[in-house]
Structure 1
Amino acid sequence: MSRMLFVNTTATDIPATREFFSGLGFEFNDDFCDDTTLCLVVNDSSFVMIMTPEKFQGFITGGISDTTKDREVLLAISAESREAVDTLVDKALASGGSAWQETQDHGWMYGRSFRDLDGHAWEVSYMDLSAMAG
């Protein structure tokens, strides 16, 4: 059996968040979307459930992290090339996301990152495993 992954987080403006991630090329599973929740599809078995803080609070105990000060999670996704990393991050920055962390270039691994509209950190990386030092 293949495991599925559901990352759960918050967004203060569901329509703006949908527009932001749609502009980055992501799709949504509308069977699990409504006025309080988005189901962002990463691949066939990985999803990011993005909920209003009120809805998210119903799934947790304790408080919700203040993304202006702390990281509750680092969301890392792959890209098919260095150029694809740059394209995705540049689109995120041009669409209202903000810069986060310096570019990481280790030759065989290249990555950049951004913060989404709600301050969640996203890292986008490309790895050329054939060039990885043994």
Structure 2
Amino acid sequence: MPKMIFVNLPVADVAASTAFYEAIGFAKNARFSNAQSSSMVWSDAIYVMLLAKPFFATFTEKTIVDAATHSTGHYALSFDSREDVDAITRAAVEAGGRELHEPQDMGFMYSRAFEDLDGHGFGPFWMDSAAIEAGPPDQA
């Protein structure tokens, strides 16, 4: 079985968050979704679980922070082109998300950033495949 990751995010409104993630290209896995959670598929190995905050609280004794006011993580998503990076960012903003800053173009890598409806941060990026093979640029 391949290694997989399931990112669990507390959300205020499961239905609204599900619609947002569908709008930016995730697919809902109905078999593992209900009124208090949605299983959103990014790839065969990457899932985002949208959990209503009261349900999310059953998994931890810690305080659930407000992602709109506190940074809880920033999830980078790789894409095959700059255009794909622009498209998901545009879709996120059109679906009610918020763009965090202007596009960052380093030549070998291009990235943007947005937040979902609850303030969870995402950083879609494209990297030149030759740059991946060569490793990070010399910082000297």
1:77, 1:89 → 2: CA distance?
A: 11
Shift of 1:103: 2.0
1:96, 1:47 → 2: CA distance?
A: 21
Aligned to 1:44: 44
Runs of 4+ in 1 over 2 A off after TM superposition: 131-134
1:109, 1:87 → 2: CA distance?
A: 16
SS in 2 for 1:87: helix
Shift of 1:102: 3.5
The normalised TM-score by structure 2 is 0.89
Kindly provide the amino acid, as one letter, of the partner of residue 50 in structure 2: I
Identity %: 34
2:62, 2:24 → 1: CA distance?
A: 32
Aligned to 1:58: 58
Q: Is the 8 A contact 2:18 2:50 kept in 1?
A: no
Unpaired stretches in structure 2, ≥5 consecutive residues: none
Kindly provide the amino acid, as one letter, of the partner of residue 68 in structure 1: A
Unpaired stretches in structure 1, ≥5 consecutive residues: none
Count of aligned pairs between the two proteins: 134
Aligned to 1:77: 77
* CA displacement, residues 8-51 of structure 1 (integer Å, 9 cap, x when unaligned): 11111111111111111210111110000011111111111110
